Amino acid sequence: MRTWGGVVGIHPRHRLIDGTETTQPEYSFWFTDAGWGVENYGTDPTHEVDIAPQDVRRGVDPQMDEALRLVVDALAASAPRPEFPPRPNRARPR
C-alpha cells in the first residue's frame, strides 16, 4: 500500500506567549526518477498488497510473502546457474 506520507522534517520556529512552540512541515525532496516532491503524499508501490486485520491477528504478512515471491521469481529469471564438474573422488585409497 502507499506509505502514509508523513512529515520529512519540522522546524520549531514560532514561540507562543505561553512558552510553547508551533511547528510546521517545511522540507521537500528530489529524486532522479520523480523530480521534486513535498510532504503529505506517500510513495506509490509497484505492487499493491493489502494487509487485512485478520492477517495481523494470525501473524501472517502478505506484503512480505509477495516481496519474497518477487525476489525468487527475479532470481529464477536472471541468476546464472553455474555448471559444476563431477565431484572428485575423495575416498581413501584401498
- All structural domains of the chain with their residue ranges: 1-44, 48-79
pLDDT value at 65 more than 80? yes
Question: What does pTM read for this prediction?
Answer: 0.48
- Cβ atoms of 2 and 45 within 8 Å: the answer is yes
What does the alpha-carbon distance between residue 76 and residue 94 come to, in Å, rounded to a whole number? Answer: 43
Between strands 35-37 and 29-31, the pairing is antiparallel
Indicate the pLDDT class of residue 69, thresholds 50, 70 and 90. Answer: very high
For position 58, what pLDDT does the model report?
96
User: What are 10-52's pLDDT values in tens digits?
Assistant: 777 788 899 888 877 667 777 777 777 666 677 788 899 999 9
User: What are 77-92's pLDDT values in tens digits?
Assistant: 887 888 888 988 888 9
Q: What is the mean pLDDT of the chain?
A: 83
